[in-house]
Amino acid sequence: MNEKLLQYLWNLKIFTSFDFQDLDGNTIEVLDFGIWNFDSGPDFLHGKIRYNGVVLAGHIELHVRSSDWIFHHHSGNPEFSSVILHVVYMHDVEIPEFTEAGIPTLELKPYIDDALIVRYQELLLATQFIPCEKMINPKMLPIFFHEENLLKKLDSKATEIEEELQRNKNNYEAVLFHHLAYAFGLKVNADIFQQLAQSIDYTTFNKIRQNPVQLEALLFGTAGWLQDSVDSQTELWKREYDFLKIKYELSQAVLHPKFSRLRPPNFPTLRLSQLANLYALHHNLFSKIMQAPNLAALMDLFKNVKASNYWNNRFNFGKISPVKSEKYLTKDFIELIIINAVLTMKYAYTRQWDEAAADDIVSFYSKLPAEHNKIIDGWTGLDIVPENALQSQALLYHYQHCCLPKNCLQCGVGLHLMNRMPTAELL
């Protein structure tokens, strides 16, 4: 038993009997179990009980053991001065201030089904892909499961974006640049690319955006790749970067993107070149994204983006490849950029003034194909197969925030299993 489970049981009123009695056998009639409080203070606010013929209104505090009241330093804390009931799983010590004030203690252990605790422990001790792997089936997913999880993710991202806007003087273009850089970096280089973008003053970046050579030079130089030149083109980039360093007093911070575990088309050299080309092609990119009325219009913004001609027969500096081709962004990569950067920015901006923002963004996701990665493969192995990006993004978010940390009490499926499944099915 832990306090989280105890609060869950109290909130949902899952007991074998409601004929509650205090430690001396006096009847406690709970008229209102209170409102679950997730902030500081008592666990349940504005509860109400009838005790010794008197109705008491106030707050209710829950602990695994009575002594936790002492260990948590609640004595003398004014936030707990209105407690009318102390609920514990196991009573182990008298609390003098409760005895003196006539506040009852309710020991819940006799009112809780032991089999329910076994179910919870099984979920917590599970070592599979998800704790309920052996019990779940697609029909257990609650209605609107995908939409709710996607919107939780979008709201979380929107909050992060709003905080970043405050640090960047409300410059949406700059914040978009940071998030696009993160997305272009994919899993291996996402953080490094974002740090790289954040280390560049966007005002400087915007001033040179009409000069593709300088854009690449700035990104490559910040990545630490222009210390030495290996051919005429890298010599040109090095010269331009040295000029920019002096003119704009650029930061001397150098970041080093990774090449390991990447296929050549995803090498950071190509991705940074493509990112530079995106900004050379589009002035006021943020405005264009916000004004895009549908998915096709968003895709069009990226379809002509490619690495510069130097990379037609190269994947790294100075190393010529026998295969020559223009390195355009692929359709799959564009879809990932839209999923992971564009739509989150679009939602963060439009939710401030458009009541239909959530529905519109959910619609965008529903028209994009589902991603493919190890986590999605895990869900697919359980016959929970996402049909589109709305569903795959929901499953990814749910895995990261419920399944991985085993927050089964915050999960609709977990609640279903806790309430309904016989213990034998877990063993």
Q: 54-103 pLDDT, tens per residue?
A: 999 999 999 999 999 999 999 888 889 899 999 999 999 999 999 999 99
Q: Find the largest Cα–Cα distance for the chain.
A: 93
When pLDDT is averaged across residues 222-245 and rounded to a whole number, the result is 95
| Higher local confidence (pLDDT), 251 or 216 | 216
When pLDDT is averaged across residues 326-333 and rounded to a whole number, the result is 97
Measured CA to CA in angstroms, residue 366 lies from 3, 269, 296 at distances of 39, 32, 13
| CA–CA gap between residue 298 and residue 291 (Å, rounded) | 9
| CA–CA gap between residue 178 and residue 25 (Å, rounded) | 64
Band of residue 125 on the pLDDT scale cut at 50, 70, 90: low
| Higher local confidence (pLDDT), 301 or 419 | 301
User: Which pLDDT score, from 0 to 100, does residue 400 have?
Assistant: 93
155 Cβ contact partners less than 8 Å away, ≥ 6 residues apart: none
3-state helix, strand, coil in the chain (%, to 5): 55, 10, 35
| CA–CA gap between residue 275 and residue 263 (Å, rounded) | 18
Q: 265-319 pLDDT, tens per residue?
A: 999 999 999 999 999 999 999 999 999 999 999 999 999 999 999 999 999 999 9
When pLDDT is averaged across residues 234-238 and rounded to a whole number, the result is 97
- Asked if residue 375 lies in contact with residue 395, where contact means CB atoms within 8 angstroms, the answer is yes
When pLDDT is averaged across residues 154-160 and rounded to a whole number, the result is 96
Average pLDDT value for the chain: 91
When pLDDT is averaged across residues 187-206 and rounded to a whole number, the result is 95
User: Which pLDDT score, from 0 to 100, does residue 126 have?
Assistant: 59
Q: In which element (H, E) is residue 50 found?
A: strand 44-51
When pLDDT is averaged across residues 150-161 and rounded to a whole number, the result is 96
**421, pLDDT greater than 50:** no
Band of residue 254 on the pLDDT scale cut at 50, 70, 90: confident
**424, pLDDT greater than 60:** no
Band of residue 348 on the pLDDT scale cut at 50, 70, 90: very high
User: Which pLDDT score, from 0 to 100, does residue 124 have?
Assistant: 66
Band of residue 422 on the pLDDT scale cut at 50, 70, 90: very low
Q: What is the CA radius of gyration of the chain?
A: 29
Main-chain phi, psi angles of 35, to 5 degrees: -105, 125
- What are the DSSP calls for 260-294, one per residue? TT--GGG-HHHHHHHHHHHHHH-TTHHHHHHH--S
- Closest residue by Cα to residue 274 from 339, 332, 216: 216
- Closest residue by Cα to residue 19 from 8, 7, 30, 5: 30
Q: In which element (H, E) is residue 162 found?
A: helix 145-167
Band of residue 419 on the pLDDT scale cut at 50, 70, 90: low
50 Cβ contact partners less than 8 Å away, ≥ 6 residues apart: 28, 29, 31, 56
User: Which pLDDT score, from 0 to 100, does residue 28 have?
Assistant: 95
User: Which pLDDT score, from 0 to 100, does residue 391 have?
Assistant: 97
**42, pLDDT greater than 80:** yes
**427, pLDDT greater than 60:** no
When pLDDT is averaged across residues 40-58 and rounded to a whole number, the result is 92
Q: In which element (H, E) is residue 320 found?
A: strand 319-320
User: Which pLDDT score, from 0 to 100, does residue 420 have?
Assistant: 58
When pLDDT is averaged across residues 251-258 and rounded to a whole number, the result is 84
- What are the DSSP calls for 134-147, one per residue? TT--GGGSPTTHHH
Q: 350-382 pLDDT, tens per residue?
A: 998 888 999 999 999 999 999 999 999 999 999
| Higher local confidence (pLDDT), 128 or 257 | 257
- Rounded to two decimals, the pTM is 0.74
**30, pLDDT greater than 60:** yes
**127, pLDDT greater than 70:** no
Band of residue 156 on the pLDDT scale cut at 50, 70, 90: very high
